[in-house]
Structure 1
Amino acid sequence: MLYINDDYFTSEDVEALFCTFDQLDALKKCSNQRIGVCLTHPFHFISLSLYIKEKGGSLAPIHPSTPKEAALRQAEKASCHLLLYGSLEEVIYLPNDLEEQSGVLVQMSSGTTGEPKCIERSWQSIEEELDSYVRQLPFGVDVTPLITCPITHSFGLISGVLAALKRNVEPVIITNLYPHYTINKCKEYPKHVLYGSPTFIHTLVQLLPSKQRIHAVMTSGMFFPDSWFSLLHRASTHVYQQYGCSEVGCISIHPDVSHPSEMGLPLSHLIVETGKQEQPKEIVVQLGRTVVYTKDIGYVNEDGLLCLLGRMDDMINVAGLNVYPQEVEDVLLQEPRVEEAVVYKKADSFAGERVCVTFTACERIDPIQLREWCKMRLAPHQIPIQFHQVDYIPTLPNGKISRKLVKEMEYESTRN
């Protein structure tokens, strides 16, 4: 069935838990209820997710490290009837008299703003995604998925666990996130595909022994900086990338990434529209009668690959000229001393908006030096007017970099 770290759980173990669920008063009406699930044991969470899906109920996954008060707030925001917190024994009933009409997966998405929003997807739409996703995967049943990202998130739950079960492969879910533990798992399963966040994967490849390679990696969620991407290619035999959004799940898969902006070919059950390389536009996705405006800017290149430039909200308009933060960040990260860089916009009375950057480095860097570096490699309107060096770059709980948080941190530091 599946592994969680070093423990193996069979289909019989799942069936035994299903029998336990059948006896729980809290779950007897799950087909008409929305259930928040914040369980400490990953196997209990997966089994209960499968049970609720099979019964046609609605599931709102909550990360197991979430404090009780925060979990309650999330469950209430998701309109849950009850919350299972910590263990199957602790059931918290919430005021909700409305019966659920059809089963959905409820997810809290923060996007790049950090403001939570509640997104619902029917189990039928998730099955359509899984069918299309498995058909387009660039590897076979002999490749074991090693899942290091949270299984309460769609990337870990749908693309990782459910997709593996769909293709009759036993996934290995890794909750022990000491990098050397995952490195040993990569060695234990020579033909593997590692599902993880860019930040964790970057840490992993830096610690990888010189004679060991990652067989394959599947990343999603944010851009890899060029320097990270080069290191990943040197350490991995195969580099895959997928792109998606909470409203429709995975949108595209790339089987052989040569540049971090390449998101691959769209899945067959979707219609994807965007601009051309010379005129990028918002990426719009159609699933049946549902049309989703992703607020991402992209284009389709000459090979038919979907390419991503960034978020519409992040794009900087300097006197009518568009600046995409990723392009500026790539140039800054080529400077050997710069470790991380986040580009964002500030209002400007003359140009409308201006480019600013917050960065980390292995030593103190004079902003004049960085400005000269950029002048040699960027157009005048792309060159940052402010360089702010910090000790660390703040991230959201899902590991993504938030330009809003970075801008707020820079603002607070200038006030103090």
Structure 2
Amino acid sequence: MNIAAYVKNHANHNGNKIAIIHSNTKYTYKKIWSLIEGVCEILISKGVAKGDRVGLSMKDHPLHLIAHFSVAAIGGVIVPIDHRWTDKEKQNTSITFKIKLIITDQESPKNIESITLKESDISEKTSSSHHIDLDYDKELLISLSSGTTGKPKGAILSHDNLYQRFESQWRSIGFNRNDYFALLTPLFFGAGRSFAMSMLVVGGTVEIAPPPLKPEEIIQILKKKYISATFLPPTLLRRLIPFSLSSKPMFSQLQYLIYSGEPLHSEEVLECLNKISSNLTGYYASSEGGGISLIKPKELREFSNTVGSPIHQTEIKIVDDTDSIVGENVIGKLKYRGPGVATKFIDDKGNESSTNKDGGWFAPGDLAMMLPSGHIELIGRGDDVIIRGGINIYPNEIESILSKANEIKEVVVVGHKDRKFGETIIAFVETTNDFDPKKVLDYCKEHLAPYKIPEKFIKMDSLPKKESGKIDKKQLRQSLISS
């Protein structure tokens, strides 16, 4: 079924319930359905039909979230586009993914078919529901990730793919219609978009707080008594830790504080549990397949080095180079399958392909091992492995050790070509003022095998970050080549 049908159902049966809060303005389900229909009318008047791809390039506000359901309602396909991209980047994405029209809230991009929408343009408009096919459930969203060239590539998701992802969140995390979810990350990014849409489909409430946000602003929002759930990437969690001045967690009322996007090291997990929220929940996912595994608060203290166990309706296996399943505590390639996994993809040149050949199994590119407890420990990205003198070295292990050193605030480890060993180990570090390389080296000798100790420590004021908040390893590797 078309996911917009669920929002319409809430509007019909619980229309006065608050669906969205933004800057102290409250939108009921009846109101947002009226806006959804209004945007549908505008899209149809511009010639958008079933199967057409519509780019959403907007800042973070209610109309952006609402537009997702409008495109869905008329059978269109959503293509997320970061509003901060240049016109050239938007134009390239439009060509690659054959976008019919881009919706923006700013000046229209040059040489691209687009419309600029403001809420005042549609607040009084209504459309007849015969334009909206709520039984249509084919392609819905192209979930973007970076290709090998740095240009976007995408997984094509159907209405059912997305609904199954939402249901796994409801069943595995526990989201329900009584929740108030604080959206603190951009709608352009997969996690924030997925959780926000999921909350409206289940009948809950989303409070939108447009990023970027300072730690003090995040704290102010999450201190609101009615906020029950939110998502924060590890980068933002780390920024909050110094603001904890009590022996108790800062956000006692939060039922779900979800982190995802990159791992937290074990000691960081424990700090977040003690200082930020005792209901910290780890959610391991990919843009191509949605949720993979989950670790709940009651397990985190014992298994803080893992990403938990498979979520609802998802299977996971760890395989070797011959695609045979490996035993417990053996490192291999992680694969998973489930109803939320995409079956069609578009590469960064616009070519479509299918993954049905492998029985629905998808490999996100991570190395992992299955523990006897059934929990999954991530070792790192397959392309991050450093091969030094024929030995596989996993940066995540070294980063985990170095992050415990008092002098180091943040660290990333990469490999660099070396004539003698094939690759050598380089550690980029963001440090405190009393950083002493000799002390850190002595610390490494105490905790790491000699061949795992970095050959070089490069001190930086701050590590470069991608728009998603993840450390940009590609930029760091490039800096080594350039030097």
Give the TM-score, by structure 2 length: 0.77
**1:311 positional shift:** 0.2
Partner amino acid for 1:231? E
Q: Which residue of 2 aligns with 1:263?
A: 307
Cα displacement string for residues 234-263 of structure 1 (whole angstroms, at most 9, x for unaligned residues): 111211010111111111121122355411
Look up the SS of the partner of 1:290 in the other structure: coil
Partner amino acid for 1:238? N
Look up the SS of the partner of 1:127 in the other structure: helix
Greater alpha carbon shift after TM alignment, 194-203 vs 173-182 = 173-182
Distance 1:385 1:90, change over 3 A: closer
Q: Which residue of 2 aligns with 1:37?
A: 56
**1:371 positional shift:** 2.0
Look up the SS of the partner of 1:81 in the other structure: strand
Query: What does 1:304-383 correspond to in 2, within 5 Å?
Result: 304-363=374-433, 365-383=435-453
Cα displacement string for residues 346-388 of structure 1 (whole angstroms, at most 9, x for unaligned residues): 2233332222111111126443332221011001221111111
Q: Does 1:185 align with 2:186?
A: no
Q: Which residue of 2 aligns with 1:171?
A: 206
Maintained 8 Å contact 1:30/1:57: yes
**1:162 positional shift:** 2.0
Partner amino acid for 1:377? H
Partner amino acid for 2:312? S
Q: Which residue of 1 aligns with 2:264?
A: 224
Partner amino acid for 2:54? I
Maintained 8 Å contact 2:399/2:413: yes
Q: Which residue of 2 aligns with 1:246?
A: 287
Look up the SS of the partner of 1:161 in the other structure: helix
**1:205 positional shift:** 3.0
Q: Which residue of 2 aligns with 1:213?
A: 250
Distance 1:407 1:26, change over 3 A: farther
Look up the SS of the partner of 2:454 in the other structure: coil
Say which of 357, 362, 378 aligns to 1:292.
Answer: 362
Look up the SS of the partner of 1:31 in the other structure: coil
**Greater strand percent: which structure?**
1
**1:139 positional shift:** 5.9
Distance in 1 separating the partners of 2:480 and 2:410: 15
Q: Which residue of 1 aligns with 2:20?
A: 2
Compute the RMSD of aligned alpha carbons: 2.7
**1:81 positional shift:** 1.3
Distance in 2 separating the partners of 1:130 and 1:319: 45
Distance 1:208 1:68, change over 3 A: farther
Distance 1:243 1:102, change over 3 A: same
Partner amino acid for 2:259? T
Greater alpha carbon shift after TM alignment, 68-77 vs 146-155 = 68-77
**1:107 positional shift:** 2.4
Partner amino acid for 1:362? T
Distance in 2 separating the partners of 1:360 and 1:400: 14
Cα displacement string for residues 61-81 of structure 1 (whole angstroms, at most 9, x for unaligned residues): 122333433323322222211
Greater alpha carbon shift after TM alignment, 3-12 vs 105-114 = 105-114
Q: Does 1:13 align with 2:49?
A: no
**1:331 positional shift:** 1.4
Cα displacement string for residues 308-351 of structure 1 (whole angstroms, at most 9, x for unaligned residues): 11101111122332221111112112211111111011223333
Look up the SS of the partner of 1:358 in the other structure: strand
Say which of 59, 62, 66 aligns to 2:81.
Answer: 62
Q: Which residue of 2 aligns with 1:93?
A: 113
Distance 1:266 1:111, change over 3 A: farther
Partner amino acid for 2:25? D
Cα displacement string for residues 270-308 of structure 1 (whole angstroms, at most 9, x for unaligned residues): 221114453111111123642211110112212212221
Q: Which residue of 1 aligns with 2:72?
A: 53
Q: Which residue of 2 aligns with 1:107?
A: 143
Q: Does 1:132 align with 2:168?
A: yes
Greater alpha carbon shift after TM alignment, 81-90 vs 235-244 = 81-90
Partner amino acid for 2:146? S
**1:103 positional shift:** 2.2
Maintained 8 Å contact 1:21/1:27: no
Greater alpha carbon shift after TM alignment, 160-169 vs 235-244 = 160-169
Q: Does 1:161 align with 2:196?
A: yes
Q: Which residue of 1 aligns with 2:334?
A: 283
**1:194 positional shift:** 2.3
Maintained 8 Å contact 1:183/1:208: no
Ranges in structure 1 where 5+ consecutive residues have no aligned partner: 95-100
Look up the SS of the partner of 2:223 in the other structure: helix
Give the total of aligned pairs.
407
Partner amino acid for 2:198? A
Distance in 1 separating the partners of 2:377 and 2:148: 19
**1:4 positional shift:** 2.6
Maintained 8 Å contact 1:72/1:83: no
Distance 1:40 1:376, change over 3 A: closer
Look up the SS of the partner of 1:223 in the other structure: coil
Q: Which residue of 2 aligns with 1:202?
A: 238
Identity %: 21
Ranges in structure 2 where 5+ consecutive residues have no aligned partner: 1-18, 115-136, 319-325, 340-358
Maintained 8 Å contact 2:176/2:199: no
Maintained 8 Å contact 1:61/1:106: yes
Distance in 2 separating the partners of 1:361 and 1:351: 28
Look up the SS of the partner of 1:400 in the other structure: coil
Maintained 8 Å contact 2:21/2:208: yes
Distance in 2 separating the partners of 1:192 and 1:409: 42
Distance in 2 separating the partners of 1:135 and 1:13: 28
Look up the SS of the partner of 1:291 in the other structure: coil
Q: Which residue of 2 aligns with 1:97?
A: none
Maintained 8 Å contact 2:36/2:69: no
Q: Which residue of 1 aligns with 2:158?
A: 122
Distance 1:262 1:227, change over 3 A: closer
Partner amino acid for 1:372? D
